[in-house]
Structure 1
């Protein structure tokens, strides 16, 4: 089952693999279902989790582009136990 850490890890891996565009977004345009497939999570879980990360100001989203705003915070999610 995928959790916050799983999605955080996938986003950091995508950024490392594809780099960033001129605006700082991950240089990979994808749909929520793509991220769900990548993490073996449901669309709903990915959507809810990413929205939570945006609310915590770890990410920003614009036109299906994700920008990681807080790398240490996102990395910490990979190591924290989930409730």
Structure 2
């Protein structure tokens, strides 16, 4: 599975400075998702849905590493929960 451009862009917004503008996880989701145009949000949601259904834990972890995000997850289950939260708010 190849990461979509929208997924790569989504992940790259998760940097330490994001805490200043969006201290809670819900605020982070809202802040980052509001940066996307509606059609980009649809493509991101579609990619997240497909990745969560089809990708193995190892594949999801590899995809997340490709984003260069500064947010890390102790387990693949934590990553899945985070991505599901983004998908469900999108």
TM-score, normalised via structure 1 length: 0.39
Q: Which has the higher contact order (CA 8 A, sep 6+)?
A: 2
Normalized per residue, the structure richer in helix is 2
TM-score using structure 2 length: 0.37
- Between structures 1 and 2, the one with greater strand share: 1
